[in-house]
Structure 1
Amino acid sequence: MDAVDPTIFRLAIFVLAIFVGYYVVWSVTPALHTPLMAVTNAISSVIIVGALIAAAASLGSAEGVNGWIAKGAGAVAAALASVNIFGGFLVTQRMLAMYKKKEKPKA
């Protein structure tokens, strides 16, 4: 029996992760959404630290192509994590605004 190609195996895991993530996120109650967004922002900040380290890393005096790939991937990861953090703060502010008492207009 032939073994499964590693690329197909990784693609199957990626697709399954998408489905599991979708159902996990959409089954969260609104009361838990704001604390989970705060945790997500904290995780993204750790990702930014790792991305900055990857972007600043050098492989010695002869970097070559691999050094530029690592720097580029680190820069892209930092940019995407920054967008994720910014969006998380916007969503958190919107969720908190839903719980504020609305002022009654003065007659």
Structure 2
Amino acid sequence: MIAIYLLFILMLSVFVGFELIRKVPATLHTPLMSGANAISGITLIGALSMAGGESGQWATWLGAAAAFFATVNVVGGYMVTDRMLAMFKKR
């Protein structure tokens, strides 16, 4: 029964997230992604705590995978933000 509630919350968050991002103008997508890097940093901290915890082998592997993907997301986001900011510098 609780899985139905969790599935409902997941579907609702996907719908709300899609609608919010769809209404953002194209010129604001990169700054919005830059702000989302902070959220990925929080995800990275949670993934590291899960990977280093004593929760079991599956939790350790999932935490390590989540830490890897969150790190890729944070680094890639900051690289894109840096390139965007470089476009506004005078030559």
**TM-score w.r.t. length of structure 1:** 0.65
Instruction: Check if 1:6 corresponds to 2:10.
Output: no
Q: Percent identity?
A: 44
**For structure 1, which runs of at least 5 residues remain unmatched after alignment?**
59-65, 101-107
Q: CA deviation at 1:94?
A: 6.2
Structure 1 residues 50, 92: closer, same or farther in 2, change over 3 A?
A: same
Q: CA deviation at 1:95?
A: 5.0
One-letter code aligned to 2:33: M
CA deviation vs aligned residue, 1:6-38 (integer Å, no higher than 9, x gap): 212221221121111111111112332232211
- What corresponds to 2:42 in structure 1? 46
d(CA) in 2 for partners of 1:30, 1:24: 13
- What corresponds to 2:32 in structure 1? 36
One-letter code aligned to 2:44: I
**For structure 2, which runs of at least 5 residues remain unmatched after alignment?**
none
d(CA) in 2 for partners of 1:54, 1:26: 33
- What corresponds to 2:74 in structure 1? 85
d(CA) in 1 for partners of 2:85, 2:23: 19
CA deviation vs aligned residue, 1:32-90 (integer Å, no higher than 9, x gap): 223221111121112112211211112xxxxxxx4112212211211221232244245
CA RMSD of aligned residues (A): 2.5
d(CA) in 2 for partners of 1:38, 1:93: 10
Instruction: Check if 1:68 corresponds to 2:64.
Output: no
More helix by proportion, 1 or 2? 2
* Equivalent pairs, count: 90
| 3-state SS of 2:56 partner | helix
**TM-score w.r.t. length of structure 2:** 0.73
